[in-house]
């Protein structure tokens, strides 16, 4: 991945990491956890972007 990346690229890369995590851990973590996490996705994306910068 080249830097600086556009916001669209960052969201795309974040989704590539988050979707498999969500699939693999849904049973262990529970649906409620991921329902609540959906409210925090923007913050997670911002943190992901900050790490890449």
Q: How confident is the model at residue 32 (pLDDT cuts 50, 70, 90)?
A: confident
Which pLDDT band holds residue 1 (cuts at 50, 70, 90)? Answer: very low
Please, which pLDDT band fits residue 20 given cuts at 50, 70 and 90? Answer: very high
Q: Is the pLDDT score of 14 beyond 80?
A: yes
Distance between CA atoms of residues 13 and 29, nearest Å:
22
Entry pTM? 0.58
pLDDT over 70 (residue 4): no
Handedness of CA 34, 38, 43, 45 (dihedral sign): positive
């Amino acid at each position: 991945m080249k830097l600086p990346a556009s916001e669209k690229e960052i969201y795309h890369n974040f989704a590539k990491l988050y979707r498999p995590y969500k699939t693999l851990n849904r049973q262990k973590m529970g649906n409620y956890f991921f329902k609540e996490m959906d409210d925090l996705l923007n913050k997670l994306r911002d943190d992901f972007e900050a790490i890449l910068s």
